[in-house]
Structure 1
Amino acid sequence: MRFAMTFAICVALASGGALAEPRLWKGEWPDTDFTRTSVSDWSQIISGGPPKDGIPALSDPQFLPAAKESRIAGREPVITLGLEGATPRAYPLRYLTWHEIVNDTVGGVPVAVTFCPLCNSAITFDRRVKGKVLSFGVSGKLRHSDMIMYDRETESWWQQAIGEAIVGEMTGTELTTLPTWMESWDQFRARHPDGWVMDAPAAHTRNYGANPYQGYDSLSRPFLYNGENPPHGIEPLARVVRVGDAAWPLTRLRDAKELRERGVVITWREGQASALDTGRIGEGRDVGSIRVRGGQGQDVPHDVIFAFAFHAFWPKGQWMLDR
């Protein structure tokens, strides 16, 4: 299937994925301390095309009652956040595909809802770190094809897939991951008819609902990735369910519908479209929805990520294959 590239992606290709070089970054990042880093090989960090804030993160989003939202297709994916004492909220990928980070406050908790299209990684973090409340933006840099975020307070760089600062004052600091999950819009509003859904950003104009990465999850090789392929013959762009340092192939979950392993219960149900398949997000092929719960029925932080990214960031991770 064709990979329809946005202008920003074309720029990245034209630049040849230029290697990042700390001494060349000071003009754009004068307040970042590049002497403090956990990155041993700077060649892993490359430009994704857009500059700093070229993909504009959102802050203080507006919400609508779920019953009043009529623009979102039923199978479109949303990120669901349900914190104790707060009305459940849905963050549609039709917006996060174009903005990648939403800085919000839910039930008094400052959160960052993030989505990296190139890794299919959707993770929500608590923004409170070392007595500070951070706000995050998109750096324009990639490592192992995964978004590098930055915080506006210290200009440190953070790896989205692992929630850890890798460059700058905050290096080595880990964000707390909150339990969220991706499901379809229909599934969210069926369970939460009185829930809230993020409204279209008023300050930006994008073709919301369109997929600028058309056909991406059918490619044989990830975009701007030079690392190893996953082991066990797993396709690089196959989806896996990551819980901690373990990964379950989504195909195994789809066949089993439910698995009870490593102290968690993972369920799969049909009805969610891939956001990275067809030109319109809501028309993508059905990849299903995952929910991960602990022994007491509580939701557990997890990610549905591409296999290449799991292998890149957890090279010694455990692959939960068919038994």
Structure 2
Amino acid sequence: MRIWTIIAALALAGAASAQPARWQGQWPNTDFTETSITDWSEIMSGGPPKDGIPAIDDPAMIPAASETRLEGAEPVMVWPAPDGPARAYPIRYLLWHEIVNDAAGGVPVAVTYCPLCNSGMVFDRRVGGETLSFGVSGMLRASDMVMYDRQTESWWQQAIGTGIVGEMTGAELELLPAWMDSWKRFRAAYPDGVVMDEPNWRRAYGRNPYVSYDSASRPFLYSGEMPPHGIAPLMRVVRVGDRAWPFSRLREAGSVSEAGVTISWEAGQASALDAGRVAQGRDVGNVRVRDAQGRDVPHDVLFAFAFHAFWPDGDWMLGG
């Protein structure tokens, strides 16, 4: 926790001077005349510099059957790639890299995970006929990762998949059907699936650098409004569009069908943001979101404070 305190102090000290002129020196190729940001103090350093958290490009994939390092309850991002085997991206790697630029079945994707918001999503990297590749800017807004594209060095808000600074301001990435699942469930559902191999970086893969984060009373580097209805800021919620279903309700019900979707919850997935080792995190459960025809629906599982920050007028699906 001490390192978090130091980083927070540095970030908050820099936030007061977070004006375009300050960022222009570090980002000479970014067009700061194009932006949806009205208050530059919302942008702050998360600690690491640009690319200090290195995104992974063209990851090596191996047959799921040959992977022996992952434990059954470990979380993985699952993308059922078109015209090919389903692909799994272990959160133990995304904790340290946050973005994976991949492609399969003719679809280039950015697999993204922001630990501070628990937001894991897979985006199509094609925008306006151009295929972008993404890196980690090292900056945060409402505690959420700010990505950048390497083609125009525009900044993108990961939680909403939208350009916020630069030439790509206002552009939106298509959110694809993907979900976080346990490694055991992935192997059972996709015996011929493939999984991202361990990256060739010196990182403590399998260890959680955010020990006990998701049981903290407040989010890290966040000064915004807390969620309504007495919902804990670090409660996981399922977001579909501008609606959010708290995990507490889903865990109790097991399955909820409303607003055109069916959301199911099943035990067996470890929190990546709890114990010192990812595989030993407490059980937070697995969620699937499907429409009336049984098709997987694009969604996100993020913390309640982040949903409230980016969808302040969103609907809280509390039931009862």
Is TM (by shorter chain) over 0.5?
yes
Quote the offset at 1:12 in angstroms: 2.0
Q: Take 1:275 and 1:101, find their aligned partners in 2: how far apart are those partners?
A: 16
* Distance of aligned partners of 1:140 and 1:16 in 2 relative to their CA distance in 1, 3 Å threshold: closer
In the alignment, what sits opposite 1:273?
Answer: 270
| Counterpart selection for 1:13 from 8, 20, 23 | 8
Match of 1:232 among 229, 232, 240: 229
Give me the whole-angstrom Cα distance separating, in 2, the residues matched to 1:21 and 1:65: 47
The answer to whether structure 1 residue 299 and structure 2 residue 296 are counterparts is yes
**Per-residue deviation, 1:65:** 0.5
- How much does 1:27 deviate? 2.1
Consecutive unaligned residues of structure 1, counting only runs of 5 or more, are none
The 2-side partners of 1:200 and 1:234 are apart by 36
**Is the contact made by 1:44 and 1:143 (CA closer than 8 Å) also made in structure 2?**
yes
1:119 is aligned to 117
Q: Distance in 1 between matches of 2:19 and 2:149?
A: 20
Structure 1 counterpart of 2:292, one-letter code: G
TM-score by length of 2: 0.97
CA distance in 2, matches of 1:12, 1:131: 39
CA contact (8 A) 1:11 1:49 kept: no
Deviations 1:129-150 (A, max 9, x none): 0111000000011000000000
Distance 2:102 2:270 in 1: 25
Q: Which runs of 5+ in 2 are unaligned?
A: none
- Distance (Å, rounded) in 2 between the aligned partners of 1:16 and 1:193: 45
Match of 1:186 in 2: 184
Q: Provide the residue aligned with 2:33 in structure 1.
A: 35
**TM-score, normalization by structure 1:** 0.96
Structure 2 residue aligned with 1:172: 170
Quote the Cα distance in structure 2 between the aligned partners of 1:220 and 1:282.
Answer: 23
Secondary structure at the aligned position of 2:305 is classed as helix
Residue 247, structure 1, aligned to residue 244, structure 2: yes
Distance 1:179 1:97 in 2: 21
Does residue 1:52 correspond to 2:50, yes or no? yes
1 CA distance for matches of 2:51 and 2:11?
A: 20
Match of 2:139 among 123, 141, 148: 141
**What is the alpha-carbon distance in structure 2 between the residues aligned to residue 206 and residue 275 of structure 1?**
16
Alpha-carbon distance in structure 1 between the residues aligned to 2:297 and 2:196? 23
Secondary structure of residue in 2 paired with 1:210: coil
Q: Deviations over 1:198-248 (max 9, x none)?
A: 00112x110000000000001100000000000000010001000000000
* C-alpha separation in 2, matches of 1:26 and 1:258: 49
Residue-by-residue CA offset, 1:32-89 (whole Å, 9 max, x unaligned): 0111100111111111000100000000000110110000111000000003322100
Q: Which whole-Å CA distance do the structure 2 matches of 1:85 and 1:296 have between them?
A: 21
Tell me how far 1:14 sits from its aligned partner.
4.1
Aligned positions of 1:95-110 closer than 5 A: 95-110=93-108
Equivalent residues, number? 317
C-alpha RMSD of matched pairs (Å): 1.0
| Alpha-carbon contact 2:162-2:173 (below 8 Å) kept | yes
SS at structure 2 position matched to 1:26? helix
Distance 1:91 1:16 in 2: 30
User: Could you tell me how far apart the structure 1 residues matched to 2:218 and 2:8 are?
Assistant: 15
Amino acid at match of 1:221: R
In structure 2, give the amino acid aligned to 1:124.
Answer: V
